[in-house]
Amino acid sequence: MRTKWLALGLAVLFAAVVAGCGGSSGGADVIKIGQAVALTGDSSMWGQSEKNAVEMEIAKINAKGGVLGKKLQLIAYDTRADATEAVNVTKRLVGDKVVAIIGPGQSGVAIAMTSVTEPAKVPFIATTATNPKVTMDDKTGKVRAYAFRTCFIDPFQGTVAAQFAVKDLKAKTAAIIYDVGSDYSAWLGKYFIEEFQKQGGKIVGNEAFRSGELDFRAILGKVKGSNPDVLFIPTMQKEAALVMKQAADLGIKAKFLGGDGWGSPDLVTLGGSAVEGSYFVNLASLDDPDIQTFIKEYKEKYKSDPIMPNPVMAIDGLYAVIDAIQKTNSTEPAKIAEQLAKTKDLPVLSGKLTIDPKTHDPLNKPAVIQEVKGGKFIFKAKFVTQ
């Protein structure tokens, strides 16, 4: 008898909880913006900064009266930068009836998410997912209708890095160390090789490692033997710092070069003196004069620097979504997606955003080359897509 009552009680409680959820999510006076972002795990540093930035911006917009007379509500879920987890998170966001999703920051995660967003007809705007396959379906060769991004793509980034290596660093030979478990890393390495060879350079080493690797001395021993002018390391800052540290220990003389994955102050903290004089391609820079107001606000609110470049790319995405809502005067995800593809000369944090309707990639997005000098990232050169 007692168990019966307990079961009944639990059922009532459960029903109340479910009803409660239904009640709170059914409000029509808010516009829900989803965010698929890595809040835990190795990429969480950028993810948390992304979430903070979007939260801060939404609070500002709401204080000014919101969009279409409605308040914006952010629903951010943790992807842990993991493809499987991201698919679950995206399903939840679709279920929550968000109008669009900001993020993710990782290419592999974004590609996995398209399996949910395309059939559900909910657009997402990736922040730093630079792999071409994020917005282009390579099976059909067509653009994915609900996938967008605010960052440049890897072929461009790889090209920029290779051209910089040949023209500015006067490199004739190069070696690559890449993460075989990351689409970002593997493809960026590939694009670098293509352009470097096109420029007349020679690839003397191409070494792979698995995600989570800590000790690179065995493969670096091989690299040392081939004595390259440039060592291209298209990885995240953690692996890059370890590779450079261990390369310096082994006495490798090559110049180190990397991609936007390096763009975090951690590169210097972790790599110490070994990262001095290295170069990398980035999406945005802390010393960019256009974003100083944002950086000041962020610092005041969160007592730390935003971890570049993700927060800037996320806010650009938010602006693009708001613009699409205003232009279509609708909160219908499919209509927003249609409008996103037509985004033209929209003032955003990183400058002006124009989305190419053929690829859903931004046009004329500048890439900056930064040098690590005195423990700081110094602006070195700027390239613009054609």
Partner 1 sequence: MFIQTLVTGLAIGGIYALMAVGYSLVFSILNFSNFAYGSIIMLGAYIGYYVLMHMGVPLALSVLISIVGAAMLCFANERLAYSTLRKRNASSLYFMISAMGTSIFLENLVYATIGSRFYAFPEILTQQNVSFGGVSLGLLDVFAIVFSAVAIYGLHYFLQKSKTGIAIRAASYDMQVCQLNGVNVNKVIGWVFLLAGALAGISGMFLGMKYMVYPTMGWITNKAYIAAVIGGLGSLPGAVVGGLILGVLETFVSAYVSSVVRDVFSFSLLVILLLVLPTGLFGKFLEEKV
Q: Which of residues 21-40 bind partner 1 (CB under 8 A)?
A: 40
Respond yes or no on whether the N-terminal peptide bond of residue 309 is cis (omega within 30° of 0).
Answer: yes
Minimum gap (Å) between residue 7 Cβ and partner 1: 27
Choose, by CB under 8 A, the member of 207, 260, 316, 323 that binds partner 1: 207
Choose, by CB under 8 A, the member of 25, 30, 42, 375 that binds partner 1: 42
Reported as type and span, the H/E element at residue 149 is strand 147-149
- C-beta of 156 vs 298, nearer to partner 1: 298
Tokens of 26: 């059914």
Stretch that binds partner 1, among 62-70, 83-91, 116-124, 207-215 (CB under 8 A): 207-215
Choose, by CB under 8 A, the member of 245, 327, 352, 380 that binds partner 1: 245
Count of beta carbons in the 10 Å neighbourhood of residue 120: 16
Choose, by CB under 8 A, the member of 208, 346, 363, 381 that binds partner 1: 208
Residues 6+ apart with CB under 8 A from 167: 199
SS3 state of residue 143: strand
Choose, by CB under 8 A, the member of 231, 270, 314, 368 that binds partner 1: 270
Choose, by CB under 8 A, the member of 212, 290, 364, 382 that binds partner 1: 212
Choose, by CB under 8 A, the member of 146, 156, 187, 209 that binds partner 1: 209
Under the binding rule (CB under 8 A), the answer on residue 241 touching partner 1 is yes
Task: State how far the Cα of 385 lies from the Cα of 19, in Å rounded to an integer.
Answer: 52
- C-beta of 108 vs 271, nearer to partner 1: 271
Q: Which of residues 145-184 bind partner 1 (CB under 8 A)?
A: 180
Task: State how far the Cα of 128 lies from the Cα of 207, in Å rounded to an integer.
Answer: 24
Tokens of 40: 């835990």
Reported as type and span, the H/E element at residue 175 is strand 173-179
Minimum gap (Å) between residue 36 Cβ and partner 1: 17
Minimum gap (Å) between residue 302 Cβ and partner 1: 12
Phi then psi dihedrals of residue 27, to 5 deg:
-65, 140
Minimum gap (Å) between residue 51 Cβ and partner 1: 13
Residues 6+ apart with CB under 8 A from 180: 186, 208, 209, 210, 211
Q: Which residues of 55-65 are buried (b: 16+ CB within 10 A; e: fewer)?
A: ebbbeeebeee
Task: State how far the Cα of 135 lies from the Cα of 274, in Å rounded to an integer.
Answer: 36
Stretch that binds partner 1, among 4-12, 263-271, 338-346, 352-360 (CB under 8 A): 263-271
Q: What is the DSSP letter of 361?
A: P
Q: How many residues bind partner 1 (CB under 8 A)?
A: 36
User: By the criterion CB under 8 A, which residues form the site for partner 1?
Assistant: 40-42, 44-45, 48, 180, 207-210, 212-219, 221-222, 225, 238, 241-242, 245, 248-251, 266, 269-273
